[in-house]
Structure 1
Amino acid sequence: MAFQNPDREQIKHLLQGSDTVAVVGLSDNPERISYMVSEAMQKKGYTIIPVNPNADTILGQKSYAKLSDIPVPVDIVNVFRRSEHTPGVAEEAAAIGAKTLWLQLGISNEEAASIASAAGMNVIMDRCIKVEDSILLPEGKPKS
């Protein structure tokens, strides 16, 4: 059976219950989409954790070389890497106990989805987290 993203209500619930977003492939270049999307999510109240082995800090946050280096629990692993690199990211995300694997707009991989699903993770592919958050939570996340 072909992969299908959760419906909008499920995505809204998922975003409401998430605080920490590890962004794999987050660029330190403010002109890159990964930077713009992550900056917008940070301004909405999400804790953004950069995963980029070539940067020390991005968006004022310490950058980590890989997901397993992150010392805190991660709710969402948001991926800005080419589709063929995502199965390995899915394995890393499962290994750290992330709740959701989110492949950004234009990125999808059935193998990555299967790995994450088998680990009990939510999977969203080929969707922009910033767009979904803006549509589903226009007033921002409810304060917990």
Structure 2
Amino acid sequence: MQHDTYSDEYLRDILRSVKTIAVVGASPKPIRPSFGVMTFLLARGYRVIPVNPGIAGREIQGQMTYARLADIGEAIDMVDVFRASSALPGVVDEVLALQPLPKVIWTQLEVRDDEAAARAEGGGIKVVMDRCPAIEYRRLIG
């Protein structure tokens, strides 16, 4: 799949179908974009699980933070990545090791790695890159 553009239907379907979202690179600092996106997603009824090894075991917005995706003891529908593009191959490795596999990997603005995306898609995972789910939710759902 090419990742320069996405149809509104593709994005809307993802946002309506996922329920549990792991936020890799979540921050407890209110000034950070990941904190704002977590706030937005929680307010829309999503189950949001922060992932950040530096603060594992502590809560962000009342949600327990985990060091790694593998530490989460429940199925994840979507992994939202707030990390540099250079970290994406490692995140994809972590995702592909999960059982069951998440349905979606979504990377935040300016986060893109086409080879990592192709590996995820080869494993049956949908990929959205260089987009913000909060922005797309507001635009497509309201």
Whether the TM-score (by the shorter chain) exceeds 0.5 is: yes
Match of 2:9 in 1: 9
Give 1:128's aligned residue.
Answer: 132
Q: Deviations over 1:3-38 (max 9, x none)?
A: 345311111011111100000000111110110111
**1:101 touches 1:124 (CA, 8 Å); kept in 2?**
yes
Q: List gaps (5 residues or longer) in structure 1.
A: 139-144
Report sequence identity in percent: 40
Residues 113, 39 of structure 1: alpha-carbon distance in 2 compared, 3 angstrom cutoff: same
2:54 aligns to what SS in structure 1?
coil
Q: Which runs of 5+ in 2 are unaligned?
A: none
Provide runs of 4+ in structure 1 moved above 4 Å.
none
Normalising by structure 1, report the TM-score. Answer: 0.91
Flag the 1:54–1:12 CA change in 2: closer, same or farther, 3 A.
same
Q: Does 1:77 align with 2:47?
A: no
106, 109, 123: which is aligned to 1:105?
Answer: 109
Instruction: Look up the equivalent residue of 2:88 and give its one-letter code.
Output: T
8 Å contact kept, 1:5–1:124: no
- Letter of the 1:90 partner, please give it: V
CA deviation digits over 1:103-129, x for unaligned, max 9? 101110112201211110000000011
CA RMSD of aligned residues (A): 1.3
SS at match of 2:67: coil
Report matched runs for 1:1-144 at 5 Å.
2-55=2-55, 56-96=58-98, 97-138=101-142
Aligned residues: 138
Q: In 1, are the aligned partners of 2:3 and 2:128 still within 8 Å (CA)?
A: no
Query: How high is the TM-score relative to the length of structure 2?
Result: 0.92
